Amino acid sequence: AQSVTQLGSHVSVSEGALVLLRCNYSSSVPPYLFWYVQYPNQGLQLLLKYTSAATLVKGINGFEAEFKKSETSFHLTKPSAHMSDAAEYFCAVSGSGNQFYFGTGTSLTVIP
Amino acid sequence: DSGVTQTPKHLITATGQRVTLRCSPRSGDLSVYWYQQSLDQGLQFLIQYYNGEERAKGNILERFSAQQFPDLHSELNLSSLELGDSALYFCASSAQEGGVGNTGELFFGEGSRLTVL
């Protein structure tokens, strides 16, 4: 079975500060991992995905994530937060079967 | 714009009623997924269809049912509605069927917000 755990349901950072959103996964097979972002009143859109190529994955809007098998982690980072980054972020895993398993989400607040 | 269309965007109804939510996937996508998003449960997978056939089932209640039609649009039927069914229901589509290590991304619609009074 697959699952993801997002540590911290709410994260606040100052504008210009480092953004770090944590995600740990559990998977009995090599996982494929995703980060999605949800802006208010919108659906989820893909930020980036890991599919067993490079362990450091770059996504849209300056975000990147690093797959660390030894730590079963796939944390999302951005060097400098922007006000427009305020949103809900979801980590997801796809392993065996047809399902995507989503984490409970992390709400990012950017303080001016 | 993801290319996934969901209707209606908002729906208010009473307990005990039945509603149908509709989803048109992205052009060319054969897989449709339904998710329920509520404040206390997060994003819960309900069911997936591929080219008209059910492929995977998640935490879908027996009062709920879905189908995918030959033109690939999908409908989620919610019956005997309860207050706890109030949520945002998302449809997502994918080009891939799924299976082991689904590497294809999901494209989400903007959701249908259901309020049960």
Angle at A8 between CA A2 and CA A11, to 5 degrees: 135
Question: How much is the pLDDT for B117?
Answer: 96
Average pLDDT value for residue range B42-48: 89
Q: CA separation (Å) from B9 to A3, A37, A89, A94, B48?
A: 29, 20, 22, 28, 21
How far is it, in rounded angstroms, from Cα A63 to Cα A78? 5
Q: Does B100 score more than 70 pLDDT?
A: no
A36, A96, A100, A104: best to mutate for the B interface, most B CBs within 10 A? A100
**Greater confidence, A14 or B43?**
A14
Which residue type occupies B116?
Answer: V
How far is it, in rounded angstroms, from Cα B70 to Cα A109? 43
Query: Which residues in chain A have Cβ-Cβ distances shorter than 8 Å to B97?
Result: 98
Task: Give the DSSP per-residue string, A39-64.
Answer: -TTS-EEEEEEE-SS-SEEE-GGG-E
Question: How much is the pLDDT for B103?
Answer: 65
What share of chain A in percent tops pLDDT 90? 67
Q: Which two tokens stand for residue A11?
A: 């994260």
How far is it, in rounded angstroms, from Cα B101 to Cα A94? 6
Residue B36 three-state SS: strand
Q: Is A100's CB within 8 Å of B45's CB? A: yes
Give chain A's mean pLDDT.
Answer: 90
Q: Does B50 score more than 80 pLDDT?
A: yes
Give the one of B92, B99, B110 whose C-beta lies nearest to A98's C-beta.
Answer: B99
pLDDT band at B59 (very low <50, low <70, confident <90, very high): confident
What share of chain B in percent tops pLDDT 70? 94
Residue A90 three-state SS: strand
pLDDT band at B99 (very low <50, low <70, confident <90, very high): low
Query: Which residues in chain B have Cβ-Cβ distances shorter than 8 Å to A97?
Result: 56, 98-100
Nearest chain A CA: its distance from B7 CA (Å) = 13
Average pLDDT value for residue range A14-29: 91
**Greater confidence, A104 or A28?**
A104
Q: Does B6 score more than 70 pLDDT?
A: yes
pLDDT per residue as tens digits for the range A29-39:
677 899 999 99
pLDDT per residue as tens digits for the range A75-109:
999 999 999 999 999 999 886 666 788 898 999 99
pLDDT band at B98 (very low <50, low <70, confident <90, very high): low
